Chain A
Amino acid sequence: SQKIEQNSEALNIQEGKTATLTCNYTNYSPAYLQWYRQDPGRGPVFLLLIRENEKEKRKERLKVTFDTTLKQSLFHITASQPADSATYLCALPTGYSSASKIIFGSGTRLSIRP
């Protein structure tokens, strides 16, 4: 079955630097991959999606890459700010169909220090 691996150790970054989070999956390459943000005491919030035929996707200060050869997605936050501190979750469908249920990685906690 598909498994998602995210760095369980917290990532501490100086404000203004680029934060890079990694998501690896173990089985087949999914049709798309999603990234979510979760703040303490709240549910995850959808940030963006990248499809298997897209190498890179950008949204404001966020950039996501998808390498199906490495079975890896990288999530970048440029010009990081303390408000970016949160847990970031990678998610992907369990099957190739867009109707497949989505499973989540355990998330990486990001802390941006002033």
Chain B
Amino acid sequence: DAGVIQSPRHEVTEMGQEVTLRCKPISGHDYLFWYRQTMMRGLELLIYFNNNVPIDDSGMPEDRFSAKMPNASFSTLKIQPSEPRDSAVYFCASSPSAHSQGVYGYTFGSGTRLTVV
């Protein structure tokens, strides 16, 4: 397996534009997580899915952020409109079913570095 795949690796966009980040989890993993990492706030959980269903989106900053998981092999995180304070590295991670999550941990992608100017 190629691991968790995220695209793009880097994104530079102008304030007000729509940004879509993409993630392909590891096949067979039931859980998918979107995190955001900044120097100030560290790694923050935005939202997670179980079997394609959003379970907890309490970390989503505001209505400008939305996430979808239309099938087991694809998820998107969309920011519309984007603002400079959204600049961060966005990570997608996946993990096996709940009973083995603690054993195997999360597998992270390489992240998307978003810069909003």
* Distance in angstroms between the alpha carbons of A103 and B59 in the assembled complex: 11
Q: In the complex, what's the smallest C-beta–C-beta distance from B58 to chain A, in angstroms?
A: 9
Interface size class of B (residues with CB under 8 A): 20 to 34
A44 and B108 contact, Cβ closer than 8 Å, known pairs A101-B33, A104-B42, A104-B43: yes
Interface size class of A (residues with CB under 8 A): 20 to 34
* Distance in angstroms between the alpha carbons of A81 and B107 in the assembled complex: 24
Question: Which of these, A41, A46, A49, contacts B107 with CB under 8 Å?
Answer: A46
Q: How many A-B residue pairs have CB under 8 A?
A: 56
* Central interface residue in A103, A105, A107, by most chain B CB within 10 Å: A103
B2: Cβ under 8 A from any A Cβ: no
Contact A102 B42 (CB under 8 A): no
* Distance in angstroms between the alpha carbons of A89 and B107 in the assembled complex: 14
